[in-house]
């Protein structure tokens, strides 16, 4: 009797020789993720397998699961690019990490290592890059396979549940502040105080900036003040451009909110010589940019995409030194679909971090 590929796979899973794990798998962009039992990956040359202790939920995972972006992931796949855990298997030729190390498995899962971008500190722009939870199965699983060269060791003393959000939200906002060029005494506007914004405020302050936080929820603005924002503006009650202009305008504005209006507000709140940094990816892909004012006021508009391994090491160094606070809540990994619904509804204080069933 002929067997189908699915029956063969099931037989393989039933076989005691094959160790299995749980993974949250996207089979259809219009359906919820499915929790499935699948074989634990086996590392090839240059690869490692990491037992996941914590995995953050980023908005990009939701876009991936819905197939929202022009280049869609190939189905089926497992999202997750804020995975933190312990190296349990090491493939041939891996020298960067060893068994037992705690590592972070970020969005930049692989880059070529030899192109102009890779050798000049811009590996995040490599055209050959592969991304965790998008073109490589990600960390919404008990184990994840990764390239040993592209994971980053998590220093001792950092809680893996803090390390997870730092692996994308942290490194992305840290890099955005670097790209913004914030210097002591600069005034920096952070538009959107969520999973990214609450960290951006802290990195801007570490760089010496004075921070104006803009959001539409009072509780998020209270959090912003706790984390070092000197000024806050509730954009649902007051025009943030007017409020920021009263302060003399900002040297840098970091656009982290997906509301299309906030991009125009961020631009308009700049003082002469100011820089607008694009980070959030709203569904509406365009904004109007006045050429005359941009030229005469010497405005810079720049995009910033995640960060490099060096950036992530620095993010961990700052956290290990007690310089940053990560606002997050943990959920069992089995509640991935409920968590996505809560993030979409805006019911989440900062970052959701999934933990395996047996973790406390």
Residues that bind Zn ion (CB under 5 A): 58, 60, 111-112, 115, 118, 126, 168
Q: Cβ distance 262 to 278 under 8 Å? A: no
Which tokens hold the place of 225? Answer: 């003040």
State the nearest-atom distance from the C-beta of 55 to Zn ion, in Å.
Answer: 11
Contacts of 350 (CB under 8 A, 6+ apart): 165, 194, 195, 198, 223, 326, 327, 328, 329
| Shortest distance in whole angstroms from residue 303 CB to Zn ion | 15
CA separation for the pair 13, 10 (Å, rounded): 5
On whether the CB atoms of residues 336 and 353 are closer than 8 A, the answer is no
- Identity of the residue, 111 or 204, whose beta carbon is nearer to Zn ion in the bound complex: 111
CA dist 27 → 30, 35, 79 (Å): 9, 11, 11
Q: Of 54 and 118, which CB lies nearer to Zn ion in the complex structure?
A: 118
Shortest Å, Cβ 196 to Zn ion: 9
Q: Which is nearer to Zn ion, 59 or 210 (by Cβ)?
A: 59
User: For residues 172 and 275, which CB has a smaller minimum distance to Zn ion in the complex?
Assistant: 172
Angstrom distance (rounded) from CA 228 to CA 211: 7
Which residues, in sequence order, are bridge partners of residue 89? 49
Q: Could you give the C-alpha distances from 75 to 72, 131, 243, 249, in angstroms and in order?
A: 9, 15, 47, 46
Nearest-approach distance from CB 190 to Zn ion, in angstroms: 17
Of residues 106 and 249, the one with the C-beta less far from Zn ion? 106
Q: Work out how close the CB of 18 gets to Zn ion at its nearest, in angstroms, rounded to a whole number.
A: 31
């Amino acid at each position: 009797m002929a067997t189908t590929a699915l029956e063969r796979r099931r037989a393989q899973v039933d076989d005691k020789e094959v160790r299995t794990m749980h993974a949250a798998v996207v089979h259809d962009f219009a359906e919820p993720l499915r929790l499935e039992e699948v074989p634990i990956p086996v590392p090839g040359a240059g690869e490692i397998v990491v037992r996941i202790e914590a995995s953050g939920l980023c908005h990009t995972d939701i876009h991936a699961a819905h197939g929202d972006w022009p280049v869609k992931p190939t189905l089926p796949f497992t999202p997750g690019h804020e995975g933190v855990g312990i190296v349990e298997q090491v493939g041939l030729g891996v020298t960067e990490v060893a068994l037992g190390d705690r590592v972070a498995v970020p969005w930049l899962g692989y880059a070529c290592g030899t192109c102009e971008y890779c050798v000049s500190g811009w590996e995040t722009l490599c055209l050959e890059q592969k991304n965790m939870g998008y073109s490589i199965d990600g960390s919404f699983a008990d184990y994840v396979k990764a390239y040993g060269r592209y994971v980053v060791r998590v220093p001792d003393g950092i809680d893996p549940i803090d390390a997870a959000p730092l692996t994308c939200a942290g490194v992305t906002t840290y890099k955005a502040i670097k790209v913004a060029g914030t210097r002591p005494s600069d005034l920096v506007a952070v538009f959107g105080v969520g999973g990214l914004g609450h960290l951006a405020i802290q990195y801007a302050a570490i760089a010496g900036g004075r921070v104006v936080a803009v959001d539409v929820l009072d509780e998020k603005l209270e959090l912003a003040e706790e984390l070092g924002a000197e000024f806050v503006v509730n954009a649902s009650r007051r025009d943030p451009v007017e409020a920021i202009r009263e302060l003399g305008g900002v040297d840098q504005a970091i656009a982290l909110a997906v509301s299309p209006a906030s991009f125009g507000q961020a631009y308009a709140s700049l003082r002469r010589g100011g820089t607008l940094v694009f980070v959030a990816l709203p569904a509406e892909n365009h904004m109007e940019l006045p050429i005359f004012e941009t030229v005469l006021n010497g405005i810079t508009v720049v995009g910033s995409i995640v960060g490099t391994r060096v950036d992530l090491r620095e993010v961990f160094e700052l956290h290990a030194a007690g310089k940053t606070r990560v606002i997050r809540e943990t959920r069992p990994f089995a509640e991935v679909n409920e968590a996505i619904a809560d993030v979409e509804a805006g019911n989440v204080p900062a970052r959701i971090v999934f933990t395996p069933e047996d973790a406390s």
